[in-house]
Amino acid sequence: MSVDTAVALGKATSLKVRSQVLIGWGERWFPGSAPSHLRGERARQPRNPDTGQELVTVSFTAAGRADRSNPLLAHLRHYRPDLLH
């Protein structure tokens, strides 16, 4: 899925980023030293009413370049090629 994300840069500037991501129910782990604003943001995320899992996204480029060397894309190509069409 493609998503448009507006990222605030200072008070008057914003940058639009288009990226390919996976969206689904899962869990994120934060270390105990994570800032309180991140833990608060996590607490406000949508949750699956049946399982309690969070709605999470993973950017394909979080795992590397968008080419054959990316392990996330390699995993998707092998197990779920339907998601890449």
pLDDT, tens digit, for every residue of 22-56?
788 888 887 888 888 888 888 888 899 999 998 88
Euclidean distance between CA atoms 28 and 63, whole angstroms: 16
Using the 8-state DSSP alphabet, how is residue 27 labeled? -
Query: What SS3 class is residue 14?
Result: strand
Could you please report the per-residue DSSP string of 34-76? S-HHHHHHHHTS-B-TTT-PEEEEEEGGGGS-SSTT-HHHHHH
Q: Name residue 57's beta-bridge partners.
A: 23
Answer yes or no: pTM beyond 0.85: no
H helix or E strand, kind and range, residue 4: strand 2-9
